[in-house]
Amino acid sequence: MSIDYDEVWNRAREGSPFSNGTEGYGWMAAWCDNCLRDAPFRNGISNNGCPIILVAQLGRTPAEFLDGPRDEHGRYSIGQQYTCIEYRAPGDGGGEPRPKPEPRGMDGLFERPERGTRMFLQPSRVEVPA
Protein backbone atom coordinates (compact mmCIF):
# COMPACT_ATOMS: atom_id res chain seq x y z
CA MET A 1 0.00 0.00 0.00
CA SER A 2 1.54 3.28 -1.04
CA ILE A 3 1.28 6.49 0.90
CA ASP A 4 0.07 9.63 -0.86
CA TYR A 5 2.23 12.76 -0.42
CA ASP A 6 -0.75 15.16 -0.42
CA GLU A 7 -2.52 13.20 2.32
CA VAL A 8 0.62 13.17 4.47
CA TRP A 9 1.07 16.93 3.94
CA ASN A 10 -2.55 17.72 4.83
CA ARG A 11 -2.45 15.63 8.03
CA ALA A 12 0.91 17.06 9.15
CA ARG A 13 1.05 19.80 11.78
CA GLU A 14 3.02 23.04 11.50
CA GLY A 15 6.56 23.05 12.82
CA SER A 16 9.66 21.07 12.05
CA PRO A 17 9.93 17.70 13.84
CA PHE A 18 13.69 18.14 14.31
CA SER A 19 15.47 21.15 15.78
CA ASN A 20 18.64 20.61 13.72
CA GLY A 21 20.31 18.33 11.19
CA THR A 22 21.91 16.16 13.85
CA GLU A 23 18.49 15.22 15.24
CA GLY A 24 17.07 14.65 11.76
CA TYR A 25 19.92 12.52 10.45
CA GLY A 26 20.16 10.58 13.73
CA TRP A 27 16.46 9.76 13.67
CA MET A 28 16.52 8.82 9.96
CA ALA A 29 19.52 6.55 10.57
CA ALA A 30 17.54 4.68 13.24
CA TRP A 31 14.27 4.45 11.28
CA CYS A 32 14.41 5.29 7.57
CA ASP A 33 17.74 3.66 6.70
CA ASN A 34 16.28 0.16 7.07
CA CYS A 35 12.55 0.77 6.46
CA LEU A 36 11.08 -1.33 3.64
CA ARG A 37 8.84 1.54 2.50
CA ASP A 38 11.87 3.58 1.37
CA ALA A 39 14.00 0.63 0.16
CA PRO A 40 13.11 0.92 -3.58
CA PHE A 41 14.27 4.56 -3.56
CA ARG A 42 17.46 3.83 -1.60
CA ASN A 43 18.30 0.96 -3.97
CA GLY A 44 17.73 3.05 -7.12
CA ILE A 45 14.66 1.09 -8.24
CA SER A 46 12.17 3.94 -7.81
CA ASN A 47 12.40 7.71 -8.30
CA ASN A 48 10.04 8.40 -5.40
CA GLY A 49 11.12 8.14 -1.79
CA CYS A 50 9.02 8.05 1.35
CA PRO A 51 6.59 11.00 1.39
CA ILE A 52 6.57 11.00 5.21
CA ILE A 53 10.24 11.91 5.50
CA LEU A 54 9.88 14.39 2.62
CA VAL A 55 7.16 16.24 4.54
CA ALA A 56 9.35 16.20 7.66
CA GLN A 57 12.27 17.66 5.70
CA LEU A 58 9.99 20.41 4.38
CA GLY A 59 9.33 21.66 7.93
CA ARG A 60 6.09 19.98 8.98
CA THR A 61 5.64 17.21 11.54
CA PRO A 62 3.83 14.24 9.96
CA ALA A 63 0.85 12.78 11.85
CA GLU A 64 2.57 9.40 11.40
CA PHE A 65 5.23 10.49 13.93
CA LEU A 66 4.18 9.62 17.48
CA ASP A 67 6.23 10.95 20.38
CA GLY A 68 8.76 8.38 21.54
CA PRO A 69 9.65 7.41 25.10
CA ARG A 70 10.94 10.10 27.46
CA ASP A 71 12.67 9.84 30.82
CA GLU A 72 11.40 11.51 34.00
CA HIS A 73 13.05 14.80 32.91
CA GLY A 74 11.51 14.74 29.42
CA ARG A 75 14.76 13.77 27.68
CA TYR A 76 14.85 11.32 24.80
CA SER A 77 17.32 9.47 22.62
CA ILE A 78 17.70 11.06 19.17
CA GLY A 79 16.88 7.77 17.46
CA GLN A 80 13.75 7.32 19.59
CA GLN A 81 12.43 10.89 19.50
CA TYR A 82 9.48 9.74 17.39
CA THR A 83 7.93 6.41 16.47
CA CYS A 84 6.86 6.19 12.82
CA ILE A 85 3.64 4.19 12.58
CA GLU A 86 4.30 3.42 8.88
CA TYR A 87 7.71 1.85 9.58
CA ARG A 88 8.17 -1.60 8.04
CA ALA A 89 11.17 -3.51 9.37
CA PRO A 90 13.16 -5.89 7.18
CA GLY A 91 11.51 -9.28 7.38
CA ASP A 92 8.04 -7.83 8.05
CA GLY A 93 6.94 -9.17 4.70
CA GLY A 94 3.83 -7.97 3.04
CA GLY A 95 0.54 -9.08 1.67
CA GLU A 96 -1.27 -12.19 2.79
CA PRO A 97 0.37 -14.48 5.33
CA ARG A 98 1.71 -17.70 3.85
CA PRO A 99 1.88 -21.00 5.73
CA LYS A 100 5.20 -22.78 6.10
CA PRO A 101 5.65 -25.23 3.23
CA GLU A 102 5.80 -28.95 3.82
CA PRO A 103 9.33 -30.42 3.77
CA ARG A 104 10.55 -31.35 0.28
CA GLY A 105 9.49 -34.80 -0.87
CA MET A 106 7.06 -35.29 2.04
CA ASP A 107 3.31 -35.01 2.31
CA GLY A 108 1.72 -33.30 5.26
CA LEU A 109 0.75 -35.62 8.08
CA PHE A 110 -2.34 -33.66 9.13
CA GLU A 111 -4.53 -30.95 7.68
CA ARG A 112 -3.42 -27.53 8.82
CA PRO A 113 -6.08 -25.58 10.68
CA GLU A 114 -6.85 -22.01 9.69
CA ARG A 115 -5.08 -19.57 11.96
CA GLY A 116 -7.26 -16.93 13.55
CA THR A 117 -6.36 -13.28 13.81
CA ARG A 118 -5.06 -12.12 17.17
CA MET A 119 -6.74 -9.00 18.47
CA PHE A 120 -5.27 -6.99 21.30
CA LEU A 121 -7.73 -5.26 23.62
CA GLN A 122 -7.26 -2.67 26.31
CA PRO A 123 -7.58 -4.25 29.77
CA SER A 124 -10.90 -3.58 31.47
CA ARG A 125 -11.03 -1.42 34.58
CA VAL A 126 -11.25 -3.16 37.91
CA GLU A 127 -12.83 -1.32 40.81
CA VAL A 128 -10.85 -1.62 44.03
CA PRO A 129 -12.79 -1.08 47.27
CA ALA A 130 -11.31 1.66 49.43
pLDDT tens by residue, 31-53: 999 988 888 888 889 888 899 99
pTM of the model: 0.64
Q: Report angle CA 91, 5, 56 to the nearest 5 degrees.
A: 80
> How buried is residue 53: exposed, middle or buried, by Cβ count under 10 Å (0-12/13-18/19+)?
buried
4: left (phi over 0), alpha (psi -120 to 50) or beta: beta
| 49 inside domain | yes
Q: Domain range for residue 18?
A: 5-84
| 22 inside domain | yes
Among residues 27, 8, 97, 32, which one has the least CA distance to residue 41? 32
| 105 inside domain | no
**Number of domains making up the chain:** 1
Amino acid identity of residue 21, one-letter, is: G
Residue 1 confidence (pLDDT) above 60: no
| 65 inside domain | yes
